Amino acid sequence: MKALVIVDVQNDFIPGGALAVQEGNTIVPLINELQSKFEFIVATQDWHPADHGSFAANHEGKQVGEFVNLNGVQQILWPVHCVQGTAGAAFHPALETKLWKAIFQKGTNSLVDSYSGFFDNNRQGDTGLAFYLKEAGISELFVCGLATDYCVKFTVLDGLAEGFKVHLIADATRAVNLQVNDFDLALEEMKAAGATIVETKELRSL
């Protein structure tokens, strides 16, 4: 059985947001179209406490883009984003949500970041997504959302590690692109790990 996994299509990752992904808003119509092709849909949501250790503002003298050691992991520092209960953490208002089975929140522990929808970056905290999908009889995942080179990529990699067949819907994602070719490098890394790269047009016949 197939599932669509929608990763972090939240206001802070949309142009105008605190951690804006260029053209992040352009994937919303594609994702809405895709939802009609799936009977099982879940979403992930970045849901940080205000004191989260990945925020540069919480490290005196540090700037966005610098690195710190956060609970044993080299952590890049981000602007304050997706703080629990804020408008920035809400899903894009044009994103259809009525067909979703569940929402899995991540990044809730201030001591460790969580890019993947499955585990935190230490792989010590489990969101329950893998168990939920397996209990529902899901074996194949189609992943879309934001951002290709971070939360989407790590969700895909962990999905593969958990034994799912995983497809990345490439045109229904956008990348942060801290380096100009990060999108392409992320696609190559996911392919090398066993993911299939597809486009929305290939799914219209599902």
Please identify every residue annotated as catalytic: 8, 106, 151
Structure tokens at 2: 């197939």
φ, ψ for residue 197 (rounded to 5)?
-100, 125
- Count of C-beta atoms within a 10 Å radius of residue 85: 9
The DSSP string of 87-104 is GGGSBPTTS--TT-SEEE
Q: What is the CA radius of gyration of the chain?
A: 16
Give burial (CB, 10 Å; 0-12/13-18/19+) of 58. Answer: middle
What's the rounded Cα separation, in Å, for the pair 7 and 104?
10
CA angle, 169 then 170 then 172, to 5°: 70
Strand blocks (E) in the chain: 2-7, 41-46, 67-70, 73-76, 102-106, 140-146, 165-174, 196-198
